[in-house]
Amino acid sequence: MLKSVLINLLLAVLAVGAGVVLSQRPWQVYRAQQNATDAQLHRMHLAENQQIADIQLHAKLDTSIGREELARKQGWKKPGEVPLTTGQ
């Protein structure tokens, strides 16, 4: 009786051990796929943020004030306009 219980216990331990060993590869594949998914999501969020910034810039440049602001940042001044200077 004790011998059969020990044999059953040994078989159960071996079965669990084999299950653990054989399940390593699927978990590695899962982790690799999860990492790839996370990286793709990160790139997607970056692209979405860039698209939002582009849309906001385009909306700003559709106004006359926005166009003038951009032109002045690039050094444009109105004809006859004298730039203000500070006492530095």
The per-residue pLDDT for range 56-69, each reduced to its tens digit, is 999 988 998 888 88
Distances in Å between the alpha carbon of 7 and those of 1, 18, 40, 88?
10, 16, 50, 93
pLDDT value for 70:
86
Can you tell me which residue has the tokens 């559709």? Answer: 62
**Structure confidence by residue, pLDDT tens digits, 15-39:** 999 988 888 998 999 999 999 999 9
Question: Alpha-carbon distance 48 to 8, whole Å?
Answer: 58
Rounded to two decimals, the pTM is: 0.56
